[in-house]
Structure 1
Amino acid sequence: MRRIALTMSLAAGCATHSPAPRPPGSDAAQRLRSIGDRYWDALLATTTLPALNQNGIGYLGGPLYATSIGDHRFDDKLDDLSPEATAALAGTLRGLRDELETVPARDLQGEDALSYEILREQLRDASEAGACRMELWLVDPQNGPQTQLAQTAQGYRDTAADRKALASRLSQAPRYFGQIADNLRKGLAHDLVASRANVTRVIEQLESLIALPAASSPFLPEKGREEVEPVLGSAVVPALTRFRDFLRAEILPRARPDERLGVGALPNGTGCYSFLVRRHTGGTRAPEALHQLGLEQLRSIEAEARKIAADAGHDSIESFRAALKADKSQFKATREDLLAFNRDLLARTLSALPKGFGDLKLLPLEVRPVEQYREASFTAGYYQPPAGEGSPGIYYVNTYQPETRPLFNIEPLLFHEAVPGHHLQGSAMLDLRGLPEYRREFGPTAYIEGWALYTERMSDEALHLYSGPKARFGMLGYQAWRAARLVVDTGMHALGWDREKCVKFLTDHTTLPRLEAEAEIDRYAASPGQALGYMIGELEIYRLRRDAERRLGAKFDLRGFHAAVLRHGPVSMATLAQIVESWIAGTL
């Protein structure tokens, strides 16, 4: 990538400000803006790109995604998943990619130069994602259509017009799920099919959604439910029922067994995984090299964990972990108590942020339980960004079987998903009002997840947020978990590991209980490569920070470093290195 000309003015704090406007009369900048606007509009208007998983929000593109990020132009529409719509979007994006290559990049400066590189990367990825053909096989408990449609009501405003638009969207559910079934049938004809574990999980989710009474249905808005309820019985539930029956009768019998869990078992699976590895890590390391890196990181992290265990009187990590899991004080007996623990922890965390961050405007944040229809197959917690201005970010806590969820894991998870992780970074990103939407709403996995993982450890060594050795042991367990992801993701998708080997590796090397480990492994099977970005991003952010500390000495300021990392929104690791280099040069 060519070097980007960046002019930066960074305060010691973490304040974010709208980038300076483009110089008037800049033809290259105007052309860039036009291409970027048409790119974003094309992405949102019709269909989705499932290979471009957007870090827990869902798949990039389509009306459902638009509503989830607060763009209400397509609220009455539901994604068109037909082959014709997919082909039309691919053609539009190819044309925009070709047009972008005619823009004289040398005439762009500052944020425009950065926007050019980011748009170029996104258009390249959108073009190459077609090799995975995920629309023909993906059945996903985490971000699949059954969960995205069930959550869409949260993105609507409390107006009669919005409820009418929501009813229109939901009325299209029969066509929507019918198209998904048609695509999956086509996949079967090409030996493309999802894992049995994930098909089973989605069938269970669908059964739960079908059984819910209208009074508690997530498809309906909190207010004015009676205006939308008729379409629930006439369209949504029948569509869900037919889709469940289809999965059970046609997909489950031919689904990939546990022994063929990875994408490498599919036609062109190796090429697909190579693309996803590059996309999610931002680099060109081979899966085998990432596998070895994960093992090396595990050895280092486990050495730290052994010291904590020894200080507590145990001769091994396993002994200390077993003692913690047998300690009833490390668990909450009820869902309500587990939720309250998280809310209290969030309040304590917010008060400590000034140690590492300056004047940052945090958006509202709520702590909610994962909905019951999907809690049994869901991860321990996750963050959902605000659906536009005025709406809160949501930290979802899985309260299913609270007696199995150890408290020593709660602290690092909240720091990662809420603050100072995803919610803080998202607040900084959304405050960059002068940036194009494709930069504010979408970003590289290594940056977004790397930042969140970095904050888990930084919350210990810089913010001193952990309550004691048990919580620090939990943090190291979560660090080990992300290192183990390098091992099991490459293991299942490139090295032929089966499901049980992956689950056992996670439970042997992390503090995750088996229930969570199984959910995690099935998540990686549905989102190949995404789990790699966490540790890769954290390692790079720490490398940049240590380099800055060494070169700046007494002039180094942690709040200034964090401001530099957050200042331009999500960028590739290579671009982030240039940004930090500019900050160092301006600080010397």
Structure 2
Amino acid sequence: MKFKSFTLAPLALAVALSACSEKQSSTQSAAVEQPKSAPVEVVVNQNKEFLDYIDSIAKDVLQRDPFSATSLGVTEEYVGQSFNDKISDMSQASVEHEKSENGRLQEALSMYDPANLSGTALTTYQLLKNSLELGESFKPILNGAFGAFSYFTPFPITHISGPHINLPRALQTEHPLTSEKDARDYISRLSAVKEEFTGLANVIKKDMEMGLLPPEFAVKGAIGFIEQFLSPSSEQHPLVVTFAARLKEGSDLSQEQVDELAAEVSEIVAARVYPGYEVLKDSLIDMLANASKNAGVWDLENGKELYQLALKNFGSGDKTAEEIHQLGLAEVDRIQKEMAAILKAEGYETDDVIGTYNKLSEEKRFLYDNNDEGRQKLLDDLNSQMANITDLLPNILVTLPKAGVEVRRISEFEQDGAPGGYYTPPSLDGSRPGIYWINLKDTADWPSFTLPTLTYHEASPGHHLQVTIAQEISDMPILRNLIWYSAYGEGWALYAEVLAKELGLYDSDAYGDLGRLQSELFRAARLVVDTGIHHKQWSREEAIEYMHGAVGGSLASVTREVERYSVWPGQACSYKLGQITILELREKARNQLGDKFDLRTFNDQVLIHGAISLPVLVEKIDTWLADQA
């Protein structure tokens, strides 16, 4: 899920069986959540007034962030202007606007009394209040990466994130290409790259002045990405080749018209895109001279404060970095013991669980050929797994997803720095499905028994299920589609791996279950490594050594993960912190409801409010349990 000021991810909602659902209109739910002393009419009116105000904020945001409007699939009429022909303002003035917007919105929010709100309006108020207040804390210590509502990374440019990666990705996968107008909009967007990347270079200069320097390897990686991006001739660049292929397939234009437009795109790439990337590259070369030799943010001027805020943003609650570190160590030990039990049952040596697992992962019977045929076989197997899980979803949920999901390979030009797999949501208008992306640079990274769990995490019952259910919410503000709560979203996806186990998908697949445990082990080790890097001041090499020893897998894949944690401090902790919270809430509900506990209803309750922070999720589940009593 990619971002400029926001990390995009549609929100999740499901129908509650026994309690009032936010899928009802605010008017319907007002009678349930309103204070007894407040007249119903007052609550209803304030709900509408508040949601109308939030809608106006969303339109302003989408005007400033055109790619988010494209990604969501909203209309020009809704936004109030065209957007498919524009890219975001990346200047320092835009950063300052984000900071001032944070304060302005906090002041505006204070004009509303949450006692007079209910349903979706109340939840939105709670979330925005928390998000804006956290943003206020980040304001003095961040620059280019600051967002009025959200935090993801301290650095606007790294080897794996930033506009230099996100912009060409969005153009190739999300920009519509069904007509000549779409093609002209594409060209218009490319034409703006030089100016905006020049502004971004100035932002990087300001970051350097503030001492916000990524690790040296991250700067080198970003430079390497740009050099690879600039290496093809303009005629052969993916921005041109993909454009021509998509336009030919998706429009009624003749081959001659497609060729003429592709020639224009090639000219713009040479005249505007390449020079813009060169400017950005020069700024990164300047940064490299002073880049940090350390992997963690602890050596930044406000590094300790930054990391504690990052952990809070990603679901730590009241836990300290040291407590999270120790939690991770305990979880690693527990999961390794469960893996040992499976290996023993299959006749393998268990004194060295990870060493045995590594050897198992290298057995030819579990590996795909590292060629086009092998990669296609891997993709076919993933599609088969997604089809199998679909039939079982009624066993764990009442509300089922409607939008489709496709699995696609991460493009070759970005696979070196990309994660192993990730998910991008469908557009709200239904024109683009959810996409489950997988990195196939080296098929040895994916022994066949590891793939089912990845599928259940990224597609269903993980991210795709959560996201598509959310799109059925009738009164969910568009703005909340622009704010991603990682501990909730990633926590649900990791919890989904548990649900897959409970559905019996591993009952006759011991090796698949071993892959599931290794996946959970991976997330547990992230608690150790993330806090190790940013709290205990581990070096990049120390973190790689621990991670590789604790979880196995290829050294190359572990290295990519550790380098990711270095530039996204705290985010790697969100998976396990979110999963643990959901499992604790489920156990609480099971204990309180006894024979009345229903897994399908509970899971719907976790999803019913859309993407929310963990403190708000806890509050919502507690309210539901009180209603059941």
Aligned counterparts of 2:51 and 2:437: Cα–Cα separation in 1? 36
Q: Name the stretch that deviates more: 564-573 or 184-193.
A: 184-193
The match for 2:175 is: 156
Aligned counterparts of 2:472 and 2:228: Cα–Cα separation in 1? 38
The match for 2:238 is: 217
Structure 2 residue 189 is matched with structure 1 residue 200: no
The match for 1:374 is: 414
Structure 2 residue 389 is matched with structure 1 residue 349: yes
Q: Name the stretch that deviates more: 180-189 or 479-488.
A: 180-189
Tell whether the 8 Å contact from 1:151 to 1:218 is kept in structure 2 after alignment. no
Tell whether the 8 Å contact from 2:358 to 2:552 is kept in structure 1 after alignment. no
CA RMSD of aligned residues (A): 2.5
CA shift in 2, pair 1:557/1:194, >3 Å = same
Aligned counterparts of 1:439 and 1:17: Cα–Cα separation in 2? 15
**Code of the aligned partner of 1:193:** L
Where 2:413 maps in the other structure, the secondary structure is: helix
Where 1:281 maps in the other structure, the secondary structure is: coil
Task: List runs of 5+ in structure 1 lacking aligned partners.
Answer: 1-7, 47-61
Cα shift at 1:126:
3.0
Structure 2 residue 318 is matched with structure 1 residue 303: no
Aligned counterparts of 2:525 and 2:380: Cα–Cα separation in 1? 30
Q: Name the stretch that deviates more: 533-542 or 550-559.
A: 550-559
Aligned counterparts of 1:400 and 1:542: Cα–Cα separation in 2? 35
Where 2:427 maps in the other structure, the secondary structure is: coil
CA shift in 2, pair 1:584/1:191, >3 Å = closer
The match for 2:16 is: 10
Q: Pick from 317, 320, 328: which aligns with 2:364?
A: 328
Aligned counterparts of 2:465 and 2:236: Cα–Cα separation in 1? 34
Cα shift at 1:422:
0.3
Aligned counterparts of 1:523 and 1:442: Cα–Cα separation in 2? 21
**Code of the aligned partner of 1:285:** K
The match for 2:278 is: 241
Aligned counterparts of 2:26 and 2:209: Cα–Cα separation in 1? 53
Cα shift at 1:162:
2.8
Cα shift at 1:532:
1.2
Cα shift at 1:279:
1.0
Q: Pick from 83, 106, 115: which aligns with 1:106?
A: 115
Aligned counterparts of 1:467 and 1:148: Cα–Cα separation in 2? 41
The match for 2:151 is: none
Where 1:539 maps in the other structure, the secondary structure is: helix
Q: Deviations over 1:12-42 (max 9, x none)?
A: 89x9945444776645334422442343234
Q: Pick from 389, 412, 416: which aligns with 2:429?
A: 389
Tell whether the 8 Å contact from 1:16 to 1:428 is kept in structure 2 after alignment. no
Cα shift at 1:392:
0.5
**Code of the aligned partner of 1:96:** L
Structure 2 residue 259 is matched with structure 1 residue 250: no
Tell whether the 8 Å contact from 1:282 to 1:444 is kept in structure 2 after alignment. no
Structure 2 residue 133 is matched with structure 1 residue 124: yes
Tell whether the 8 Å contact from 1:429 to 1:440 is kept in structure 2 after alignment. no
Cα shift at 1:529:
1.0
Where 1:411 maps in the other structure, the secondary structure is: helix
- Calculate percent identity across the aligned residue pairs: 27
Tell whether the 8 Å contact from 1:383 to 1:394 is kept in structure 2 after alignment. yes
Q: Pick from 61, 72, 91: which aligns with 1:69?
A: 72
Aligned counterparts of 1:412 and 1:34: Cα–Cα separation in 2? 41
Aligned counterparts of 1:185 and 1:16: Cα–Cα separation in 2? 45
Q: Deviations over 1:492-515 (max 9, x none)?
A: 112211101111111111133211
- Correspondence list, 1:564-575, <5 A: 564-575=605-616
Where 2:531 maps in the other structure, the secondary structure is: helix
The match for 2:37 is: none
Cα shift at 1:9:
7.0
- Correspondence list, 1:409-420, <5 A: 409-420=450-461
**Code of the aligned partner of 1:33:** L
Structure 2 residue 350 is matched with structure 1 residue 315: yes
Tell whether the 8 Å contact from 2:423 to 2:436 is kept in structure 1 after alignment. yes
The match for 2:489 is: 448
The match for 1:266 is: 300
Q: Deviations over 1:75-108 (max 9, x none)?
A: 2222222222221232233112112112122111
Aligned counterparts of 2:492 and 2:420: Cα–Cα separation in 1? 19
Aligned counterparts of 2:137 and 2:72: Cα–Cα separation in 1? 24
Where 1:374 maps in the other structure, the secondary structure is: coil
Aligned counterparts of 2:422 and 2:435: Cα–Cα separation in 1? 8
Aligned counterparts of 2:170 and 2:587: Cα–Cα separation in 1? 42
Cα shift at 1:569:
0.6
The match for 1:43 is: 61
Where 1:135 maps in the other structure, the secondary structure is: coil
Tell whether the 8 Å contact from 1:208 to 1:373 is kept in structure 2 after alignment. yes
- Correspondence list, 1:421-432, <5 A: 421-432=462-473
**Code of the aligned partner of 2:452:** E
Tell whether the 8 Å contact from 2:109 to 2:129 is kept in structure 1 after alignment. yes
Q: Deviations over 1:327-365 (max 9, x none)?
A: 111110022222222122212222222221234133111
Tell whether the 8 Å contact from 2:366 to 2:448 is kept in structure 1 after alignment. yes
Aligned counterparts of 1:16 and 1:372: Cα–Cα separation in 2? 42
Aligned counterparts of 1:92 and 1:533: Cα–Cα separation in 2? 27
Q: Deviations over 1:178-227 (max 9, x none)?
A: 12222222333333311122222222222222234545614753115526
Tell whether the 8 Å contact from 1:12 to 1:559 is kept in structure 2 after alignment. no
Q: Name the stretch that deviates more: 492-501 or 163-172.
A: 163-172
**Code of the aligned partner of 2:100:** G
Aligned counterparts of 1:131 and 1:507: Cα–Cα separation in 2? 36
Q: Deviations over 1:369-406 (max 9, x none)?
A: 00000112222111111133221011011111113432
**Code of the aligned partner of 2:187:** A
CA shift in 2, pair 1:543/1:552, >3 Å = same
TM-score calculated relative to the size of structure 1: 0.89
The match for 1:185 is: 205
Cα shift at 1:587:
4.5
**Code of the aligned partner of 1:10:** A
The match for 2:309 is: 275
The match for 1:293 is: 327
Structure 2 residue 104 is matched with structure 1 residue 95: yes
Count of aligned positions: 563
Aligned counterparts of 1:446 and 1:126: Cα–Cα separation in 2? 17
Q: Pick from 75, 79, 89: which aligns with 2:88?
A: 79
Aligned counterparts of 1:466 and 1:128: Cα–Cα separation in 2? 48
**Code of the aligned partner of 2:69:** A
Q: Deviations over 1:47-68 (max 9, x none)?
A: xxxxxxxxxxxxxxx3333322
Cα shift at 1:463:
4.5
Where 1:373 maps in the other structure, the secondary structure is: coil
CA shift in 2, pair 1:542/1:554, >3 Å = same
CA shift in 2, pair 1:495/1:38, >3 Å = farther
The match for 1:580 is: 621
**Code of the aligned partner of 2:561:** E
Tell whether the 8 Å contact from 1:171 to 1:235 is kept in structure 2 after alignment. yes
Where 2:289 maps in the other structure, the secondary structure is: helix
CA shift in 2, pair 1:228/1:11, >3 Å = farther
